[in-house]
């Protein structure tokens, strides 16, 4: 039998994303969401108590019946089913977390409720290739032991010689290296027709686990000593991204540290969909999940043409580069 709470829970099952503030652990985010959802679920009107017929003895006055007692059937509410006795209907819900964000980084964090966890498994276990967008805030001139601005400073250096041009050159070099790694992990012979076709569709990439790969890298703000990078990547961790900033600094004959990691997209989830922490209530989550379901339906309709949902999102320069590279390779094969 479905109660209002169960019906509400069915409406809550699915994927949605929140905006994790920096300085908060992802477990805390998950737990807050879970308690808020439980609060919403258990606030639904409770089921009426089931009635039970019991034979209760009623003492009858002695003059009427000398034998004294008669039984009468009375329907009584079964108190053992009372919500104060059984506790709230929902005491735990499965809330799964997508690709993690560590405490100092902020941004889009995908969460799954109920059977949405199954879809989440597909996203996290490398079966589908999901790229993510990050913006990295960097600062030249200092190096710290954990590559972030909170760590212990280990080195200081000058940064006057760095120009945007030099930075772009380094970024292009890094992207080229990662492009090679992408081809290496894609497990296809580069001289085959198959590789050509995959590259033409933009499907080349690691099939499963791989080292972190940056598929796109560019500088969107350059005001020395501060700079901002935009990164598209696969199988990354936030620590790796900080290390990338550090290495860019070294490559430019200077030092750099990362002041902030912000994820702006995780697969199909973008900043627009993300719920800020004022909106982590059951009703808002419900709306976000409904929106996700409707958008999924739309995507399925368009998907008859394009096979892979994960790589449908344009990867700008990276995607184009692969194509050109592979076209060249294919031509070489033909000759």
Q: Is 303 left (phi over 0), alpha (psi -120 to 50) or beta?
A: alpha
Closer by beta carbon to another protein, 69 or else 334: 69
Least separation in angstroms between CB 12 and another protein? 22
Least separation in angstroms between CB 129 and another protein? 26
Least separation in angstroms between CB 63 and another protein? 17
The span from the CA of 315 to the CA of 178, in Å, is: 14
Closer by beta carbon to another protein, 246 or else 262: 262
- Residue 137, token pair as written in the block: 């805030």
Query: Which residues in this chain contact another protein in the complex, by CB under 8 A?
Result: 19, 21-24, 52, 55, 57, 67-69, 71, 78-82, 84-88, 106, 262, 271, 274, 276-278
Closer by beta carbon to another protein, 21 or else 208: 21
Whether 133 is catalytic: no
The span from the CA of 193 to the CA of 223, in Å, is: 45
Q: Which residue has the tokens 């989550």?
A: 285
3-state DSSP assignment of residue 306: coil
DSSP 122-151: HHHSSSS---EEEEEEEEETEEETTSBTTS
Least separation in angstroms between CB 232 and another protein? 19
The span from the CA of 286 to the CA of 13, in Å, is: 8
Closer by beta carbon to another protein, 52 or else 189: 52
Least separation in angstroms between CB 86 and another protein? 6
Name the DSSP class of 275: B
Query: What are the φ and ψ backbone dihedral angles of 167, each rounded to 5 degrees?
Result: -60, -45
> Catalytic one among 102, 168, 284, 308?
102
DSSP 21-85: PTTS-HHHHHHHHHHHHHHHHHTSPPPPPPEEEEEEEEEPPTTT-TT-EEEEEEEEE-GGGSHHH
Closer by beta carbon to another protein, 1 or else 69: 69
Residues classed as catalytic? 102
């Amino acid at each position: 039998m479905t109660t209002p709470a169960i019906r509400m829970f069915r409406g809550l099952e699915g994927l949605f994303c929140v905006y994790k503030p920096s300085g908060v652990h992802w477990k805390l985010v998950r737990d807050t969401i879970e308690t808020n959802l439980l609060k919403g679920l258990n606030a639904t009107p409770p089921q009426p108590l089931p009635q039970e017929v019991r034979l209760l003895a009623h003492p009858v006055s002695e003059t009427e019946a000398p034998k004294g007692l008669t039984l009468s059937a009375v329907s009584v509410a079964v108190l053992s089913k009372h919500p104060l006795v059984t506790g709230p209907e929902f005491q735990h819900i499965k809330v799964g977390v997508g690709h993690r964000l560590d405490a100092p980084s902020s941004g889009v964090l995908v969460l799954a409720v109920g059977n949405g966890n199954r879809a989440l498994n597909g996203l996290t276990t490398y079966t589908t290739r999901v790229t993510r967008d990050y913006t990295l805030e960097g600062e030249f001139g200092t190096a710290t032991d954990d590559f972030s601005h909170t760590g212990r400073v280990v080195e200081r250096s000058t940064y006057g010689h760095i120009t945007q041009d030099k930075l772009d050159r380094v970024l292009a070099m890094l992207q080229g290296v990662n492009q090679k790694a992408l081809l290496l992990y894609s497990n296809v012979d580069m001289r085959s027709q198959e590789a050509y076709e995959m590259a033409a569709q933009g499907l080349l990439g690691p099939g499963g686990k791989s080292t972190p790969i940056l598929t796109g890298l560019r500088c969107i703000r350059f005001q020395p000593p501060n700079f901002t990078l935009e990164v598209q990547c696969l199988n990354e961790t936030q620590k790796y991204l900080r290390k990338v900033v550090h290495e860019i600094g070294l490559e430019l004959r200077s030092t750099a540290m990362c002041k902030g990691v912000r994820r702006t997209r995780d697969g199909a989830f973008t900043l627009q969909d993300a719920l800020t922490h004022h909106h982590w209530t059951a009703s808002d989550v419900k709306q976000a999940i409904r929106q996700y379901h409707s958008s999924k339906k739309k995507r399925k309709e368009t998907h008859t043409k394009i096979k892979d949902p994960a790589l449908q999102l344009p990867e700008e320069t990276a995607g184009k580069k692969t194509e050109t590279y592979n076209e060249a390779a294919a031509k070489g094969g033909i000759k």
